[in-house]
Amino acid sequence: MSERLPELLDARKLQAELGVTRAGAEAIMRRLPVVEIEGLRKVYVRRDDVVRYLEERTSVGEWRFAKAAVRS
């Protein structure tokens, strides 16, 4: 095998790395393909999928909720 195996992250590891709540980490994981290993209850996501997900949802500009507050 010449390619490296993908790095797998569970919800706890994702939470720690991103600095989000457990619910936030689980919400991200629900939007990604998951890796389920037979005989284990734990679910994983691939690090590359997380990186791609975050890059696709990163934008330049004002925070939209800040705009809503200005309208008041």
In a domain, 34, yes or no: yes
The pLDDT tens digits of the residues spanning 1-47 come to 578 888 999 999 999 999 999 999 999 999 999 999 999 999 999 99
pLDDT-based confidence at residue 72 (cuts at 50, 70, 90): very low
Please report whether residue 25 resides in a domain: yes
Q: Is there a domain that residue 18 lies in?
A: yes
Q: What's the pLDDT score for residue 59?
A: 80
How many structural domains are present in the chain? Answer: 1
Residues 6 or more apart whose Cβ sits within 8 Å of residue 7? 46, 47, 48
In a domain, 2, yes or no: no
> Domain containing 29: what range?
8-71
- Could you tell me the pLDDT band of residue 53, with boundaries at 50, 70 and 90? very high
Residue 49 · residue 29 · CB < 8 Å: no
